[in-house]
Structure 1
Amino acid sequence: MTTEDTFHWQIINGKQPAEQTLLRTKYHITEEVITYALDEDESPHAELDRATGTFLLIYNVPRDQPEDDIYDAPLTFIIKGMTLLVVDNGTTLRVSDKLYRTLAQTDTTSPFSALFTCLVKLTDMFAPLVQTVDNERKAIVPELRRHTTKKALLRLSDLSLRADYLSRSAKQNTMVLRQVHAHPIYQRFTVGEEEQLADVVIEADQVLEMAELSSHTLDHLSQTYDSILNNNLNDVMKFMTVWSLLLTVPTIVTGFYGMNVPLPAQHSPWGWIITIGITLALWLVMGAFLHRWMK
């Protein structure tokens, strides 16, 4: 992609009305693109407005302050002519600060080359988040093996949810990168830009593999402990069933002797011992039968 214009970049804080006005007046960005850039729930995608020559790419990046275990937020890149705009919707200001330093140090003269440099940096930011999830999982597992508590299980559930979010975010990023690769604009890239895009795809695939492995491991752990808890519950229910049946024996035996019906040893001074003996004998017989039946 060759042009006589000079490469220019700027990071825009989309929450500032003055900078929104700058997008409209100085860079002539359409309202549709601005709406995409400011939407905190916008999914990653890439598109080219042929009428204005505006290329839009939205990429998942780590959020400054995670909310409800949501650790990512969209960051928008806009390329128009030789200008690269990075539009922050207010949830990734720290990431934008890092990109400022990255772009300030780059010596490229191509907006797409600068874009891919930024994407490599952003993709690498997910690896420490996945590693943190793995480290927390390794810390929880010994605790669960010693004693399966509700608190530890809730922590495991939270980790599993976090890993799922990271895996989803990484997958969306790989999809948008492949979307760029399949887009007609790819035919306009220089060899260097194609190689940079390939490097970003490799990094994104590695992060995705890490995130999916972490997510699958946590899902397997959750299923394992669900099975253990279900087995424990079954054992408790079996014990309660056996105990409730055994408790009916004394009631039945003493109930017979409480009826106005002639029974053996009814008036014997040893009658209470005989009653206890009958109860114990029936307990043993029923207990042995239930033990074999419950196996």
Structure 2
Amino acid sequence: MINETVLDQGHKLVDVHSTKNLNDSDRTSLIENYNLTNEILDYADDENERARFEYDEYSQTFLIVYNVQNENEQSDDLSQRVLPISFAIKDKQLFLFTNDATHYVRDYLLYAKKNFSEGKENLLWELIFHTFDQISSDYSDQISETDSKRNKIQRLIKKHHSSENQILDLAELQDLTTYLSTAISGNATVLNEIELISSGKVQQLHLTKATHEHLHDSVIEIEQIKNQVNLSSDIIDRISNTYNNILNNRTNTTMKVLTVYTIILSIPTIVSGFYGMNMKLPIADQEWSWIFSLIITIVIILIILWDLHRRNSL
């Protein structure tokens, strides 16, 4: 579905909203009525496309593929928690390609428009950079939520309330931060490319000083988010390793205790086994011989316990 929104007298937003992928009628309309190329549409329609910045000299169209979060945050498939959207700038038209899970980005563009007066220079780029800032803020909120979940698991581990659920939760957080880190790194690369190209004044990308400063601020913001998610990912990995070490240590302690019990409990069996044999043994014919066997058993147990203690095995 294609909807047009007038931004000011000279600019308009073309919202290309698909349920999942572009249908044939929308693709035909974009090619025939808006002069977009199949290559641009293939990039914009690919749900697995990596973040990128391209300029098509033939159609004189800028294309930006950017990673945003899935509006359905409860999606079971973590690989779908981050999805690509596309912006295309041709002449004075801004094309936005989204699906049902990412269409909220249109609201960011329209909200950003309220901050600018009629005839604003570099209006389309300013709208895109404001949208990038809001997307970065969304990532920051997601990372903070992830940190909160991580702290909760940490507290449970410290209180020895750990269970299989914590292992699964940690694994999910590790996967989520990996997807977030990859998406944010791709976005940072895109912004750095735009800044580099705009600074060199090539490929017809000419930004005013104010717009370029805004772009630079957006680059700094995404770099901070990138560092934030990398730090969060490192901490989660360390907690996971610590948790594994704790579980291994508990297993070793359990095995050590069981080994000690096995050794101790085997001694009475050995001693009583000797006195149960059909053969003559010292004082076996005395009435108090069973007491003597208990004394021998206790003495041997004490000697073994002392030896284990001496070797720091208890």
Separation in structure 1 between the aligned mates of residue 247 and residue 176 of structure 2, nearest angstrom: 23
Q: Secondary structure of 1:123's partner?
A: helix
Partner of 1:13: 17
2:128 counterpart residue number:
115
2:135 counterpart letter in structure 1: L
Q: Distance in 2 between matches of 1:69 and 1:270?
A: 73
CA distance in 2, matches of 1:229, 1:148: 12
Q: Which residue of 2 aligns with 1:234?
A: 252
State which drifts further: 235-244 or 112-121: 112-121
Structure 1 residues 33-71: Cα deviation after superposition (integer angstroms, max 9, x where no partner): 222212222111111122221211111111112433343
2:80 equivalent to 1:65: no
Matches within 5 A, 1:76-225: 76-103=86-113, 106-107=116-117, 108-110=120-122, 111-150=124-163, 151-183=165-197, 187=201, 188-190=205-207, 191-225=209-243
What TM-score comes out, normalization by structure 1 length? Answer: 0.88
Moved over 6 A (4+): none
Structure 2 CA distance, aligned partners of 1:100 and 1:26?
Answer: 23
Higher helix share: 1
Number of positions where the alignment pairs a residue of Structure 1 with one of Structure 2: 291
The one-letter code sitting in structure 2 at the alignment partner of 1:221 is I
The residue number in structure 1 matching 2:60 is 53
- 1:267 is matched with 285
Q: CA deviation at 1:203?
A: 1.3
How far off is 1:113 after superposition?
2.9
Conserved in 1, the CA contact under 8 Å of 2:109 and 2:127? no
Q: Distance in 2 between matches of 1:20 and 1:129?
A: 34
CA contact (8 A) 1:40 1:73 kept: yes
SS at match of 2:95: strand
Q: Partner letter of residue 55 of structure 1?
A: F
Moved more, 171-180 or 255-264: 255-264
Q: Could you say which residue in structure 1 is the equivalent of 2:5?
A: none
Query: SS where residue 224 of structure 1 aligns?
Result: helix
Give the residue type in structure 1 aligned to 2:78.
D
2:44 is aligned with 1:37: yes
**Structure 1, 45-54 or 61-70: larger mean CA deviation:** 61-70
After TM superposition, give the deviation of residue 224 of structure 1 in Å: 2.2
TM-score by length of 2: 0.83
Residue 263 (structure 2) pairs with residue 249 (structure 1): no
Q: Distance in 1 between matches of 2:256 and 2:40?
A: 63
Deviations 1:68-113 (A, max 9, x none): 3343111101112221111003321223333333346544353323
Q: Which residue of 2 aligns with 1:28?
A: 35
CA distance in 1, matches of 2:112, 2:183: 22
- 34-43 vs 9-18, which moves further: 9-18
| Aligned mate of 2:302, from 284, 289, 292 | 284
Which residue type is aligned with residue 200 of structure 1? S
Q: 1:184 to 1:106 in 2, by over 3 A?
A: closer
Which amino acid is 2:206 matched to?
F
Secondary structure at the counterpart of residue 73 of structure 1: strand
- Give unpaired runs (5+ residues) of structure 2: 1-8
Q: Please give the secondary structure, in 1, of the residue aligned with 2:214.
A: helix
1:55 aligned counterpart, secondary structure? strand
- 1:6/1:109 contact within 8 Å kept: no
C-alpha distance after superposition, 1:202-233 (max 9, x if no partner)? 11112112222222222222222222222222
Partner letter of residue 81 of structure 1? D
**Structural RMSD (CA):** 2.4
Query: Are 1:62 and 1:95, in contact at CA under 8 Å, matched by a contact in 2?
Result: no
List per-residue Cα deviations over 1:218-269 (Å, max 9, x = no partner).
2222222222222222111111121112222122212222333321122222
Unaligned runs of at least 5 residues, structure 1: none
1:258 and 2:276 matched:
yes
Aligned residue in 1 for 2:4: none
Work out the CA distance in 2 between the residues paired with 1:20 and 1:288.
Answer: 83
Shift of 1:184: 7.1
